[in-house]
């Protein structure tokens, strides 16, 4: 083998390792491989047993490294689980408080007894009137615009805008405090997920799934709060 000697020896060892692995994996299908391995074992130019020893040492080192990684992962999992158990009740409380505050600021004026059936249908109007309206609309479309005209449609935002008053000031204050906590918990959960994912392992799948679901709920409430236009809310959050 070409110089330097250290590099040639390393290449020789790696080649013997490759032959060894190849023999272990494919010897049953290629009987002639046995003759090759027997020749290498008997040859004085190759230290085949040394390659076996190095392969075994590498396997042991890999197993030990995997065991250490799994041990660290389980310690991390235990730490994250304990932290989440301590904070879960407060996270749930913040989610419910934010939801309740939003419902108080923007109540839903919807009668649960209302249904689609109560809405007037096309059949409730006189047939002649509906037909004439359709005909007039079609005529207007046909004669007022062409295929090359550009029509701009402006849809006003339906996001609620809340004005601060003495009556809703306590609710807004509660919402601000709760939103700050939700942002903190969102970052905390994301950081915990990053730690667990870095280790991997099937023993973490359940915890990771629970954290992903909880983070999704927290993020949803934060987005709902951000969509609400409250006078002076942005300044209080800064």
Q: What is the pLDDT of residues 91-124, one digit of tens each?
A: 999 999 999 988 888 766 445 555 544 555 544 4
pLDDT score for 13: 73
Answer yes or no: is pLDDT of 129 > 70: no
Mean pLDDT of 70-96: 93
pLDDT score for 135: 56
Average pLDDT, the chain: 76
Answer yes or no: is pLDDT of 67 > 60: yes
Q: What is the DSSP letter of 230?
A: E
Answer yes or no: is pLDDT of 29 > 50: yes
Nearest 10 degrees: CA dihedral of 191, 192, 195, 200?
-130
Residue count (the chain): 238
Provide the whole-model pTM: 0.58
DSSP string, 119-179: SPPGGGS-HHHHHHHHHHHHHHHHHH--TT------------EE---TTTHHHHHHHHHHH
Share of the chain above pLDDT 70, in %: 65
pLDDT score for 50: 65
Confidence grade of residue 39 (pLDDT, cut at 50, 70, 90): confident
Gyration radius from the chain CA atoms: 36
Q: What is the DSSP letter of 3?
A: S
């Amino acid at each position: 083998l070409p110089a330097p000697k250290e590099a040639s020896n390393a290449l020789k060892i790696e080649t013997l390792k490759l032959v060894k692995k190849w023999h272990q994996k494919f010897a049953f299908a290629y009987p002639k491989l046995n003759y090759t391995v027997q020749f290498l074992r008997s040859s004085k130019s190759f230290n085949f047993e040394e390659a076996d020893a190095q392969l075994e040492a590498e396997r042991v080192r890999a197993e030990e490294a995997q065991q250490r990684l799994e041990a660290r992962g389980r310690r991390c999992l235990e730490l994250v689980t304990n932290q989440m158990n301590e904070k879960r009740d407060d996270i749930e409380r913040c989610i419910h408080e934010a939801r309740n505050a939003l419902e108080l600021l923007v109540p839903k004026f919807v009668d649960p007894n209302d249904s689609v059936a109560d809405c007037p249908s096309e059949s409730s109007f006189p047939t002649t009137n509906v037909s004439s309206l359709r005909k007039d609309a079609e005529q207007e479309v046909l004669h007022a615009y062409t295929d090359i005209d550009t029509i701009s449609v402006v849809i006003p935002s339906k996001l609620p805008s809340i004005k601060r008053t003495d009556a809703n000031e306590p609710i807004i204050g509660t919402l601000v405090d709760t939103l700050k906590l939700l942002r903190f918990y969102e970052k905390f959960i994301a950081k915990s997920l990053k730690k667990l994912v870095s280790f991997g392992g099937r023993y973490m799948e359940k915890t990771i799934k629970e954290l992903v679901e909880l983070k999704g709920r927290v993020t949803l409430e934060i987005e709902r709060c951000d969509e609400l236009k409250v006078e002076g809310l942005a300044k209080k959050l800064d």
